[in-house]
């Protein structure tokens, strides 16, 4: 029953990710979301020039972010749901500090088919096989998705740290928001792109898919 629910969650996530990537207005929607996030985190609304820089920052982030905001949310929800259903059943607070003998192992509640489709360690050959069959590679429940989720959180942390740095009372204009945050983000994003193309798993996958 658990494996059926997880497989269903994976399929739902794949359908939602297809819809998220096929929409032509997804970029503008992501830019609006990032504008709202930046303003909620303290980006200045006045003067207008500062608000304009926040809008430019939102456009840059929406254009270069590894995943769309909706795809990020879908993958995160699916991953959390899978992890929650894989955990042993905890009936009382005492179970948090003890290890019952009858507690199932971490992966024992899943059937092999569910583990194969939803594991973050799934082989990339399956993804390449889908590309060879002219089927679009769909995000969801793969090691590449786990890497993309990790990068999203790393880049979000960099934006947050840069935003906190820009909130301090600095005198130099280039040290105010959004320059520290956007500069650190662009450096980190460029570093990830170089890593993908030179020696990262994403670069290897990209090279293999082109070779095929």
What would you measure as the largest C-alpha separation in the chain, in angstroms?
64
Instruction: List CB contacts of 39: < 8 A, sequence separation 6 or more.
Output: 45, 54
44 vs 35: CA distance, rounded Å:
11
Q: Is 45 helix (H, G, I), strand (E, B) or coil?
A: coil
CA distance 46 to 1: 55
Residues of the chain short of pLDDT 50, as ranges, are 1-7, 9, 11, 13, 15-17, 20-22, 100-104, 106-140, 202, 204-212
The predicted pLDDT at position 73 comes to 79
pTM of the model: 0.58
Q: What is the pLDDT of residue 188?
A: 92
Angle at 170 between CA 169 and CA 172, to 5 degrees: 155
Q: What is the pLDDT of residue 58?
A: 92
Between CA 35 and CA 27 the distance in angstroms is 12
């Amino acid at each position: 029953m658990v494996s059926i629910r997880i497989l269903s969650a994976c399929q739902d996530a794949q359908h939602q990710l297809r819809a998220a990537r096929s929409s032509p207005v997804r970029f503008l929607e992501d830019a609006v979301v990032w504008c709202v996030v930046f303003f909620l985190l303290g980006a200045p609304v006045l003067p207008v020039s500062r608000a304009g820089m926040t809008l430019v920052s939102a456009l840059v982030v929406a254009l270069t972010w590894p995943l769309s905001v909706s795809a990020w949310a879908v993958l995160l929800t699916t991953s959390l749901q899978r992890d929650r259903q894989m955990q042993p059943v905890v009936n009382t607070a005492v179970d948090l500090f003890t290890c019952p003998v009858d507690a199932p192992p971490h992966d024992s509640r899943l059937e092999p088919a569910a583990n194969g489709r939803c594991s973050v360690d799934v082989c990339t050959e399956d993804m390449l096989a889908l590309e060879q069959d002219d089927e679009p590679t769909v995000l969801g429940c793969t090691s590449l998705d786990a890497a993309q989720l990790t990068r999203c959180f790393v880049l979000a942390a960099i934006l947050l740290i840069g935003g906190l740095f820009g909130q301090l009372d600095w005198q130099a204009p280039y040290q105010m928001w959004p320059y520290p945050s956007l500069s650190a983000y662009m450096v980190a994003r460029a570093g990830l792109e170089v890593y993908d193309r030179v020696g990262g798993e994403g670069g290897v996958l990209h090279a293999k898919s082109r070779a095929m």
